[in-house]
Structure 1
Amino acid sequence: MKIKNCSIALLLLLGTQICNAQLIDKLKKKAERAAERTVERRVERETEKKTDQAMDSVFGSDKKKTKKEKKSSKESSGSSSSSTKKGQDIVTGSSFFPNGDILFSDDFNQDNFGDFPANWDTNSGGEVIKVGQNKAFKLNPNGTYSAKTNKLPENYALEFDLVTENLDYKGLSGSQFGINFSSEQTLNRPKNGGKFSFSLWKGSTVCNQINVQNWGKTNAKIDNNIPFKMQEKFNTTTHFTVVVNGNRLRVFIDNEKAIDLPSFLSNNFGNYIQFYLKGTDPKENHIAAIANVKITEEGEDLRSLILKGGFSTTKILFDSGSDKIKKESYEFLDKMAKVLQDDKTLRLNIIGHTDSDGDSVKNMTLSKSRAAAVMNYFIDNKGLDKARFMFQGRGENEPVAENNSAAGKAKNRRVEFQKI
């Protein structure tokens, strides 16, 4: 009996040891799996941290780049441009008269390198050169240059880029770049006129001023130096906008106003423009060139003209002997309608005028029907209230020019708008 009991006790002891061993083994494996999961989680956290840092680095640089791009975009907003080798933007297009008529435009792309450009005249010489991927017109020392334009109107904007290189010390004392204005078309110094000019001697502070001067028997004399830091504008590309409004001259340099003289261009001195270059030395490779030249006529401020009492225009054209409006008139009529839509207080009397060709009675009827056609364009196409309009015909009775020439007759065929 004792031996049997001992056997049973031994078996129980062995079983307990086996169970304990199995339990320890299970606990060991569980601990190992837990440790593995801890390591895995730590690796995951470190991986996530490194990934986040990498992403922050990438997107952070993108954000910085975006800010830089925004700054660059802000600096050059509203302009169409291309870069020179120094990264300076060349600005084109008129920011002053964006809806105006372009009277002259030249980027010199039609001219061969080394040639004198076809659309210009000079008493000296010059040549088309390459600036980055663009072309420019290099001026010769002591030369005067004028674009082949007709007489310029009372209100216009001249825009161009001045490209300069190697303007430091040597050989630049007495150098000068400028623009002359006059009522006569000449390559010599005008007998009556005005100018603005500045020294190209970057190595001297003498260039930190702009000289404005006019001369002649019929001119109010002005001769003054206006402070402006031109020194920092050299050996790069600088954008100029010259705005002429009757007697008034304004000059903007890289969109900063440099000159504003209300009575500088008296007696139609703004009708013709000359560029000129004085001094510089080809042996020193001094470069003064112009690029992207554009002259834009100011669009009429129609609302202002109406508020002043009214105006007449020859921009509304009709088929010969008819009241049918030509399509090329629609742009002007649409601008007029926009003014009337924006200011609902405006009321107009529309008056038609003809030249003296044909029967005077028929001309009276034709002028009246043309005035009615203009009124109906505003009503039928633009939804304007008929109550805002009156119309009349004056036929050939109120000419503004002689009827003995084609040009005079064209001036007399007009439509007049009077404020009611």
Structure 2
Amino acid sequence: MKNRINKTRSSTLLLCLTTLLAHAQVRVNDPGRVVERNVEYRTNSKIDQGINKGLDKVEEGVMGIFKKKNKAQPNQKDSQSTNNNADTNGNTDNSSTGSSPARTGNGNQSASNEPADNDVSKTKVPATLKSYSKFDFVPGEKVIAVEDFMQDAIGDFPDKWNSTGSGEIVTIDAQAGHWLMFNKKGEYLPEFIKSLPDNFTLQFDLAANETFSFYSSYLWVNLVTMVNPAKDFAKWGRFPTPTEGVRVGLHPQNAGGNEAGLTEFITYAKGDEVMKNETDLPAFFAPKRNVAHVSMWRQKQRLRVYVNETKVWDIPRAFQPGVTYNGVVLSMGDTHKSEDRYYVSNIRLAVGAPDTRNKLITEGKFVTNGILFDINSDKIKPESFGTLKDIASVLSENADVKVRIIGHTDSDGDEASNMALSKKRAAAVKTELTNSFGINAGRMETDGKGESQPAVPNTSAEGKANNRRVEFIKL
């Protein structure tokens, strides 16, 4: 009888945990689901209501057993994890809060409380700065375009875009801000991007539904030449008829059971496909890693592409010499399953290669928008690693140089709060340079100016992005 009870409890516990894990998955809020699926949902909902009532009672009983057991016999492993600053996924990190912040915030700002650059590049396991130790991406010097879709209403197509397909603004469970959902094959043109100079960086957040099919289309990011953008952008679909362009495909599902997606690279010159390759993409994989941060970096002919901390492409002759590239087109083909979707948000285009060494050592001042923070927080985002590493290298090579680190914000929010936040963020940068890169703390002092010293007017999203910055002043 005792064994039978134990087996029953084990089966009940397994059922409960399976149910809880299923509810813990990241899911997308998709108001554009096709009509025929609504009938299925309405039918299933009545069944689900009855099942959920039963499961609630089971879960209450099992959780009661857990509480009694833990109260009487504390779990040694759990206690150890707590002492080591474990995150919610059980990962431990013995470093200070400043040196390895958990990815719990929603902003993508470089010294402000303004959510203009909300970050949604979370995966199942929150990333830390240390996890980006091989990330050498450094954002461009001046932000010229940002898009977070916050000015657009849920359910609408964004005002600053054109499309041959269909899309709408949605929200995603467990992710911040607004996202543009692509729900049909077509081409999507951000009309506010009109130039791609020799040195630029393009960043955005990308998501796909957890059940995305291998047989559904890539999401294509096309960096292109267009004479008449209103017409020419439609040439960059599933089977392009292009002139000049570089095309990067991202897909969250590979074949053969690999826990990886796929990525493809193609260069077109004078209408011909001159270069092509395809490889696995472990950093973007449905269902486990279906939300990712994408970074693209052009330096003349060279193109580097990163997904989260992983460099997936480094093509030295991607762009053709003497060709002017002036637009970005996102596109997708057919989907194998009607529910398959791509989502993008937090697009950020910046130009100019940062000149950290000369500006800090020779000119005595270096300003960066590449150190990003969680919203309303001094926690540094892991994709800031490349910028911090670049600054640390200059300081290491010039051991006699001392600097003052100054945080700045835009004008959104309370003036006093912005001032306090800017000071905390400057202090967090100092802590990170000391803890992660070994820079002597005595060589650095910190300050914050809040919103009091704008570099440009706070009258546009791009202006605010450039005012959210960190300065390094040579002493």
Q: TM-score, normalized by length of structure 1? A: 0.50
Distance 1:306 1:218 in 2: 44
Q: Deviations over 1:228-247 (max 9, x none)?
A: 33663556211111111111
Residue of structure 2 aligned with 1:192, choices 240, 244, 248:
244
Distance 2:152 2:315 in 1: 36
Residue of structure 2 aligned with 1:274, choices 325, 329, 337:
329
Offset, 1:217: 2.5
Q: Deviations over 1:86-117 (max 9, x none)?
A: 756699xx984457211111121111111011
Matched residue of 2:171: which SS?
Answer: strand
Q: For the Cα contact (< 8 Å) 2:154–2:170, is it kept in 1? A: yes
Residue of structure 2 aligned with 1:157, choices 178, 183, 201:
201
| 1:298 partnered with 2:352 | yes
Q: For the Cα contact (< 8 Å) 2:121–2:205, is it kept in 1? A: no
Residue of structure 1 aligned with 2:308, choices 227, 251, 254:
254
Amino acid at match of 1:195: R
Amino acid at match of 1:104: A
Q: TM-score, normalized by length of structure 2? A: 0.45
Q: For the Cα contact (< 8 Å) 1:167–1:202, is it kept in 2? A: no
| 1:241 partnered with 2:295 | yes
Amino acid at match of 2:243: K
Q: Which residue number in structure 2 is paired with residue 182 of structure 1?
A: 224
Q: Which residue number in structure 2 is paired with residue 127 of structure 1?
A: 168
Distance 2:270 2:141 in 1: 33
Q: Deviations over 1:359-412 (max 9, x none)?
A: xxxxxxxxxxxxxxxxxxxxxxxxxxxxxxxxxxxxxxxxxxxxxxxxxxxxxx
Q: For the Cα contact (< 8 Å) 1:111–1:117, is it kept in 2? A: yes
Q: For the Cα contact (< 8 Å) 1:165–1:286, is it kept in 2? A: yes
Change (3 A) 1:257 1:108: same
Q: Which runs of 5+ in 1 are unaligned?
A: 1-53, 311-334, 345-420
Amino acid at match of 1:249: L
Change (3 A) 1:58 1:227: closer
Distance 2:75 2:120 in 1: 28
Distance 1:108 1:276 in 2: 18
More strand by share: 1
Offset, 1:264: 0.5
Distance 1:62 1:118 in 2: 51
Change (3 A) 1:120 1:179: same
Change (3 A) 1:208 1:287: closer
* Structural RMSD (CA): 4.5
Amino acid at match of 1:241: S
Residue of structure 1 aligned with 2:144, choices 103, 113, 116:
103
Offset, 1:152: 2.2
Residue of structure 1 aligned with 2:185, choices 142, 163, 167:
142
Offset, 1:302: 6.6
Matched residue of 1:124: which SS?
Answer: coil
| 1:64 partnered with 2:81 | yes
Q: For the Cα contact (< 8 Å) 1:167–1:200, is it kept in 2? A: no
- Comparing 174-183 and 251-260, the one that deviates more: 174-183
Offset, 1:210: 2.2
| 1:286 partnered with 2:340 | yes
Distance 2:188 2:166 in 1: 9
- Comparing 223-232 and 136-145, the one that deviates more: 223-232
Change (3 A) 1:224 1:86: closer
Aligned residues: 260
Q: For the Cα contact (< 8 Å) 2:221–2:328, is it kept in 1? A: yes
Matched residue of 1:191: which SS?
Answer: coil
